[in-house]
Amino acid sequence: MELFYRKIGISGPPLIILHGLYGSSDNWISVAKLLENHFEIFLIDQRNHGKSPHSNDFNYELLSNDLFEFFAKHNIVKASIIGHSMGGKAAMFFAKKYPELINSLLIIDIAPKNYQNIYSPELVTHNKIIETLLSINLNELKSREQADEEMAKNIDSIKLRSFLLKNLHRNKNGNFEWLLNLKSISENFNNIADGFEKIEWENIEISGFPVLFVKGENSKYILDEDLLLINKLFPATEIFELSNTGHWLHAEKPNDLADKIISFILN
């Protein structure tokens, strides 16, 4: 699958950034601008997101294959990879299959665990997000403000609604449509919530390059009990907590995150 991407920076070692669920490459432009003097940066829209193609199939095997094709198409021999949330899991899966292609691995606020059977505000929110977006009748939608009003019935957070509305645009006929493939995301959500505790991961140690896990201080995506699995799979891991941030820490403290990325990869 040929993925849409944005390129920022023209010199330095290659750096690939993978967004999270419901996100797109433009979510990371602010951070990329802070990094552009140090890296050649590729901001990728993953399948079923942004301007990349849609597919009925959606899992980490496919996201990993998409990234491998991207490396080949752009003649990237090795790169550092940053992955946030879903993008972090895609990066971990890719690191298992193609460790020889990675210089550094940076995982932003996600653990390698299975989130399917864990009751948490985050997963409840994900279910609510999907249901809410699917419930909006795009054929009757007259404005983004109307969409926001519909979303507000189930989603209280103005910031979250604003983030989700970035995926709403008008097509060439002037009609509203989602850039997200909501049907595929809904049908394959268990694949995305899935983790790497399965039999094929039991005796796996992924090494040969430095690994950084960045946790938002106020986020519940990485818990203390997750560190055992993280250190088992990635024995050379550094864990870093970014203060006063939640799950979208790249939007909350882009400068602090960019400083940590630069120091980790280049020092």
Q: Which of 64, 85, 104, 219 is catalytic?
A: 85
Query: Cβ contacts of residue 124 below 8 Å, gap of 6+?
Result: none
Tokens 């939640």 correspond to 246
- Active-site hit among 19, 126, 247, 250: 247
Catalytic, 85? Answer yes
- Annotated active-site residue 74? The verdict is no
Give the catalytic positions in this structure. Answer: 85, 247
